[in-house]
Chain A
Amino acid sequence: MPRRDFLKAAGAGVAGTALLGSTACDGFTPAVEGTSNSLVFSFGPDDSGVVQAVIDMFNKKMGGKITVEYREMPADTGQYFDKLRTEFQSGVVVNDVIGADVIWPAQLAANGWLEPLDELFTEEMQSDYISAPLDTGRYNDKIYSVPWYADAGMLYYRKDLLDKNGIKSPPKTWEELYDIGAKVAGAEGLGYGYVGQGAEYEGGVCNGCEFVWNGGGEIQDPKDLAKIVIDSPEAMAGLEAGQKVVSSGVAPVAFATFKELESLTVFLNQDAVFMRNWPFAYGGLADPALGTTFDPKKVYEQVLVTTLPVTEAGQENFACLGGWTFAINALSSKKEQAWEFIKFMITPEIRETFTIDRAAMPPERSFYEDKKLIKEQPLLEVAKDAIASTKPRPIHPYYSDMSLRMAESFNENIKSEISPQQAISTLQTQMQRIADTNVPNPNI
């Protein structure tokens, strides 16, 4: 067989085995846009299958006028972002609608890769939204994304153990949390008073941001996004509380390597009093596949959820915003159809489907008041306060570079390798330098 034919055959074989729809590239040629009446929706893998089911509903409803293809992107969000970025840079249109992490819109919009949605996603439509998810979509006074679902850091606690040790209410301040955590862990023989995400990665950034905010500090000036303001006594107080997680002994040094799973595993092993985690962990409490040692029937009485503590009683508390949004590729030739699809995805019925079947927390307030829906998805009530207290990570075209710096400094702070003072002054310099880096001009 001539070599060219061999390569073709190999390519066909690969395309055949790719389970990623017709837009998947065959591995030998770069990816290209879908067919004329089909839209490509890019999003990470969805184990629940709900995303595909909803897309099928849309395609059926449209009766062939618009067909949406689900293009599975890498599960790792860093990789997903990297792939998007590279594809945009190469100027080939491979997707029309993008399921974008809340930290991306500014980064993508600054390069001119996203379509402004101000005329479509009207102020009136925005009125019911929680502000943090909306804010992440704004860049240079325009809105580039429509919130899909929201994540928030929440405090899970062992109600049963607190009761047993005579503690009436969950802690309001970090100081209280450490006291109670140490006391209850000691009395019950648990390894950890508190677990969260201390590792050097994006989740560690979220935990670190929460420490700063809950100390009363800010990272980015809310009025001037180009200004970094982390060098403040409040931020330092917050990071001091962060350092105490380990230095006070309430959590072992291993905390500095913990991501979501590690902390959840310890908690499911009934080896921790408190846990900071995302809403997804709530379902995990009763999930044998994750190795829970709780009795699924009783766990939701033993474990309750509240908002994160603050440095000093009375301060406003914040949770780091996570979650996903919809955005439209500026280069897409099917923007109208793309908007049709987004509109469908945010209709109340579809939002309810995602809420119930995927435990995805909606970004609109009214859902959290819907008694009927809460009955089907109790997490709504549980996560309500945390979601309402969300705050976005810095919104900047070079956020991912800022994130690398924060991940490093926050992690070093947890390990007491640097002092909180060093952490904030280092971050102030490094992040301001990144913020000052020329932002590309999309018009060139």
Chain B
Amino acid sequence: MSGKSFESPWQRIAFFTLIALFIVMTLFPMLYVLKISVVTPEELGRAIPTLWPRDFDTTRAPYFFTAYETVFSDPIFKQALVNSVVVAGITTVICLIVGSVAAYALARINFVFRSSVQSLILAISFFPAVAIIAPLFLQFQTFGIIGTYWAMIIPDILFALPLTVFLLLAYFRELPAGLEEAAKVDGANIWQAFYKITIPLSAPGVVTTGMLTFIFAWNEFLFANTFALDETTQPVTVVIPQFATTYTTDFGAQAAAAVVVTAPLVALVLIFQRRIVSGLTAGAAK
């Protein structure tokens, strides 16, 4: 499809204007929040907002913007970053282990319930998470795990699993089965074929899947807001909106926190964009 020419230069201009508009609209909020994070509270309080930053707020540290200093000197925020990494990390590891095995079976083995199992796993991604917070809350309370990481990890796994399974399924299907067949002829059983041949061969796919699962769990809010009771376990998604002391709301710090939390995601997405696009659309189109 590429390289189709435009009928007139005006069409060409209109087309690229629209594309430019799309890009500007997409990036604008991020850039504007970046701006909020570096200017003085006084500039933020102005009746007519400024588009470009004027008064940089570096009062407290000469090399660093005040809002970032606030954020990074806040033990709660640092703890929240750790919490997010722990919750998203463990969720990802468990999903990869459980999901890759299931995806392999779905990709390679023809059993009667294959399509039903596949549909069931997919159906989970349509499942409204909010429907189970009441029972889970009571259950977790009974087990005494309210306010621990597990209370977030357990439901996160359920909702990240379909993503993991379908992304891996797409990768495994693309992989020619020949090598595994050869291994099986040499006496390997199906498990060995899976972890000795398929997993190493689909390593890029596993990495991309792991990353997307991680982002998914990193972004989770509902369960974290429901089951994490305080700063010792709350991830960044819960802490940022509350980035406030008892009385005051520090917009600069909120903006800085938003930048800190999203910058790595933006970097990851840009680096892995090709794989993510193919992975996501392959998974979703199934």
- Enumerate chain A interface residues (CB-CB to B < 8 A): 7, 10, 13-14, 17-20, 24-25, 27-31, 44-45, 47, 72-77, 79, 82-83, 86-87, 89-90, 92, 191, 259-262, 264-265, 269, 278, 280, 289-291, 293
Contact = CB atoms under 8 A, between A and B. Distances in A.
Given A17-B78, A291-B42, A83 B229 contact: yes
Name the 7 nearest CB pairs between A and B, nearest first: A291-B41, A83-B229, A261-B248, A19-B75, A260-B247, A27-B149, A30-B144
Interface in B50-88: 75-76, 78-79, 82-83, 86
Interface bin, chain B: 35 or more
Contacts of A280: 247
Contact of A90 (B40, B79, B141, B248): B141
9 contacts: A17-B78, A28-B149, A72-B231, A82-B229, A264-B248, A269-B45, A278-B247, A280-B247, A291-B44
Nearest to A203: B247
Contact of B144 (A18, A47, A82, A90): A90
Contacts of A30: 144-148
A189 to B, nearest CB: 12
A92 B145 CA distance: 12
B242 A79 contact: yes
Contact of B246 (A25, A77, A89, A293): A77
B245 interface: yes
A40 B232 CA distance: 16
Nearest to A293: B42
Interface string B81-108: 0110010011000000000000000000
A47 B232 contact: no
Contact of B242 (A25, A27, A75, A261): A75
B153 to A, nearest CB: 10
Nearest to A277: B247
Nearest to B46: A269
A264 B79 CA distance: 30
Given A24-B232, A290-B41, A261 B247 contact: yes
Contacts of B249: 259, 261-262
Given A18-B79, A19-B79, A261-B249, A76 B231 contact: no
A261 B252 CA distance: 13
A289 B57 CA distance: 11
A240 B186 CA distance: 87
Contacts of B1: none
A31 B82 contact: no
Nearest to A84: B229
A86 B86 contact: no
A20 B232 contact: yes
A25 B244 CA distance: 23
